[in-house]
């Protein structure tokens, strides 16, 4: 079938046709490092990681670029509100750069916990101001700017396609429709490229420029840095849906206003994470968008403090398509935690059948396209890979891909060693670290009287079932096969499956 993506530009599913055959360049909007990332923010980076992993799985060379905004982002995307970085620095009695380093480190700690591959290029705004100045000079030379009140503005009336991403019709605009009117602006949709007259006293970071000493507007950062590392025309730009009407719309105007040609071919946007009070509210679609400004947000550490593994949260996110709202509740997180643990336990059982922990020890990194290559696989294994590939090629459909992974893990007709190979290949996209987690489980799992004590946290009947499994083992040793079979039938009636392995029996819920 080939990779198909939903392009926000045009609102259609489209075949992915890279500018350079076999290579994909993509840019993802990174964090503004004035506070911890909340778990709604982190959804965007799990989505970006899925895209990164998918491209490698499908055989593309790729270059993934992400910015770090450490200057100039106001609390309102449209040149309104407070300077986020300056506000936090003043509250913490630290310099802006100290604040930026602290929260940048915290951000990457979260990414590591979620098993997110680092982008190929991470670029800080503070280190690319000369690139921004050069880009603004090109925009100015093409007649798209004006000075007012000491600041340099982009004049959207000079760019006929302004708003095409967000389906904005400039003819329908009224002054003040989007924001409180900046008296210096000719139109409420104009935006600042360079500030020399800051609304804040003692602006922390400023640079010399042709327009005076000051600092760049937020939108110009992404245009300048993406072009520096990906060129003036590249394949994919990603971000949250909240970036569509202002930030990404302004990026397009200034980028194409500078170059005179198309900038990005595919625009991909992830939906919001919404907080619901419980499972019933989530199922009813009731909740509020997670937001730092409203104080309605949770960090990854807050989930860890409640006993969740960061990979439980990744599992939860993969259960929903990136273009659909996901309703977060602790009930949902409990379900994700239990489901991930059960999946890891199944992988551990397969490893035991394949020769024990030694079957998991060898880490394997797949080169581009290698994981999707079916040569050397059995017919059934090849079918699993192809089904998984079709799912992920369909606009990164992780819910369907996860169902194929789950089906594969439960298929006892597969040779254990081949099942492990399939798990490794699929998990190169899902990023759940299943083999690593299974290896850790087996290392921690005591073997007592021939019974492998696999964790069944949260199962109220676990102790009773453990005792029955142990009794069955003793009955078999005493050659009391009638009693052993009776116990197995009893467990089966309760929805418990017992599997005998070289290291002893393990059980799980059907």
pLDDT-derived band at 460, boundaries 50, 70, 90 = low
Are the CB atoms for 346 and 410 separated by under 8 Å? yes
Of residues 85 and 224, more confidence is placed in 224
285 pLDDT exceeds 90?
A: no
Q: What is the pLDDT of residues 28-46, one digit of tens each?
A: 999 999 889 999 999 999 9
How far is C-alpha 76 from the geometric centre of its chain's CA atoms? 24
288 pLDDT higher than 70? no
- Cα separation of the two ends of the chain: 34
Quote the percentage of the chain above a pLDDT of 70.
Answer: 85
Tokens of 249: 């719309």
pLDDT at 122 over 50: yes
pLDDT band per the 50, 70, 90 thresholds, residue 348: very high
Q: What DSSP designation does 59 have? A: T
| Enclosing H/E stretch for 430 | helix 416-430
Check the annotation: does 251 bind a ligand.
yes
> Is 271 annotated as a binding-site member?
no
Provide the β-strand partners of residue 151. Answer: 148
Residues forming a β-bridge with 14: 5
Residue at token pair 């042709």:
210
CA dist 433 and 237 (Å) reads 27
pTM recorded for the entire structure: 0.84
Residue 391: its H or E element:
helix 379-393
Q: Is 321 assigned to a binding site?
A: no
Dist CA 319 CA 402 (whole Å): 7
- What's the token pair of residue 32? 């503004």
Element at 56 (helix H, strand E): helix 39-57
Listed residue (365, 387, 398, 319) closest to 50, CA to CA: 398
Evaluate if residue 69 carries a pLDDT over 60. yes
Report the alpha-carbon distance of residue 399 to residue 396 in Å, rounded.
Answer: 9
What domains lie within the chain, and their CATH numbers? 4-270 (3.40.50.620), 446-510 (no CATH)
Write out pLDDT tens, residues 374-413: 999 999 999 999 999 999 999 999 999 999 999 999 999 9
Q: Is the pLDDT of residue 500 over 80?
A: no
Residues 6+ apart with CB under 8 A from 211: 147, 152, 194, 196
Residue 483 has pLDDT above 70, yes or no: yes
Q: Cα separation of 12 and 328, whole Å? A: 28
- Please name the residue that has the structure tokens 């096969």: 481
- Between the ranges 91-95, 412-416, 491-495, where is the mean pLDDT highest? 412-416
Distance CA 354, CA 348 (A): 10
pLDDT value at residue 75: 47
Tell me the HSE value of 255 on the side-chain side, using a 13 A CA sphere: 24
Instruction: Tell whether the torsion through CA atoms of 425, 324, 226 and 113 is positive or negative.
Output: negative
Within 354-480, residue ranges assigned H as helices are 358-361, 379-393, 398-410, 416-430, 434-444, 462-477
Q: What is the DSSP string of 131-180?
A: HHHHHHHHHHHTT-EEEETTEEEE-GGG-TTTTTTTT--GGG--TTSSSP
Q: What average pLDDT does range 110-129 have in this prediction?
A: 97
Rounded to whole angstroms, the Cα distance separating 260 from 254 reads 10
**DSSP code, position 247:** I
Q: Model confidence at 55, in pLDDT bands (50, 70, 90)?
A: very high
423 neighbors 411 (Cβ within 8 angstroms): no
CA distance 195 to 78: 13
Higher pLDDT, 201 or 313: 313
Q: In which residue are the tokens 């500078």 written?
A: 258
Q: What is the rounded average pLDDT for all residues in the chain?
A: 88
Return d(Cα 267, Cα 28) in angstroms, integer. Answer: 10
pLDDT in tens, 232-283: 999 999 999 999 999 999 999 999 999 999 999 999 999 999 987 665 665 6
């Amino acid at each position: 079938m080939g990779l198909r993506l939903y392009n926000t530009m045009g609102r259609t599913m489209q075949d992915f046709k890279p500018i350079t055959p076999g290579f994909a360049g993509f840019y993802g909007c990174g964090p503004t490092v004035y506070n911890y990332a909340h778990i709604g923010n982190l959804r965007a980076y799990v989505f970006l990681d899925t895209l990164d992993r998918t491209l490698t799985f499908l055989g593309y060379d790729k270059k993934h670029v992400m910015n770090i905004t450490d200057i100039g982002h106001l609390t309102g995307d449209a040149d309104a509100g407070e300077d986020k970085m300056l506000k936090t620095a003043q509250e913490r009695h630290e310099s802006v750069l100290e604040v930026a380093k602290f929260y940048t480190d915290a951000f990457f700690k979260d990414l590591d916990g979620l098993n997110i591959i680092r982008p190929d290029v991470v670029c800080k705004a503070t280190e690319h101001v000369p690139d921004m100045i050069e880009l603004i000079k090109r925009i100015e030379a093409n007649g798209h700017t004006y000075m007012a009140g000491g600041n340099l503005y982009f004049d959207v009336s000079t760019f006929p396609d302004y708003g095409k991403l967000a389906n904005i019709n400039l003819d329908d605009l009224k002054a003040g429709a989007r924001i409180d009117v900046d008296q210096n602006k000719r139109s409420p949709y104009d935006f600042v490229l360079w500030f020399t007259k800051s609304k804040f006293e003692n602006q922390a970071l400023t640079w010399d420029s042709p327009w005076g000493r000051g600092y760049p507007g937020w939108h110009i950062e992404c245009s300048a840095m993406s072009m520096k590392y990906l060129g003036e025309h590249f394949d994919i730009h990603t971000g949250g849906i909240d970036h569509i009407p202002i930030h990404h719309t302004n990026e397009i105007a200034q980028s194409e206003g500078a170059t005179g040609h198309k900038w990005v071919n595919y625009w991909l946007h992830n939906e919001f994470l919404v907080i619901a009070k419980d499972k019933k509210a989530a199922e009813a679609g009731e909740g509020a968008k997670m937001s730092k400004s409203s104080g309605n947000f949770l960090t990854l550490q807050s989930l860890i403090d409640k006993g969740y593994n960061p990979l439980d949260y990744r599992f939860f996110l993969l259960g929903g398509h990136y273009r659909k709202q996901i309703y977060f509740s602790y009930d949902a997180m409990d379900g994700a935690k239990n489901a991930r643990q059960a999946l890891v336990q199944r992988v551990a059982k397969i490893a035991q059948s394949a020769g024990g922990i030694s079957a998991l020890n060898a880490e394997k990194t797949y080169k581009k396209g290698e994981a999707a290559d079916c040569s050397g696989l059995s017919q059934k294994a090849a079918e699993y890979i192809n089904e998984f590939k079709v799912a992920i090629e369909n606009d990164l459909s992780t819910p369907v891909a996860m169902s194929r992974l789950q089906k594969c893990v439960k298929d006892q007709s597969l040779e254990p060693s081949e099942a492990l190979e399939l798990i490794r290949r699929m998990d190169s996209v899902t990023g759940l670290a299943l083999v690593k987690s299974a290896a850790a489980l087996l290392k921690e799992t005591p073997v007592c009287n021939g019974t492998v004590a696999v964790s069944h946290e949260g199962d109220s009947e676990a102790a009773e079932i453990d005792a029955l499994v142990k009794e069955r083992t003793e009955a078999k040793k005493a050659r009391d096969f009638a009693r052993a079979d009776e116990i197995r039938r009893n467990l089966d009636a309760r929805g418990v499956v017992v599997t005998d392995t070289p290291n002893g029996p393990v059980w799980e819920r059907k």
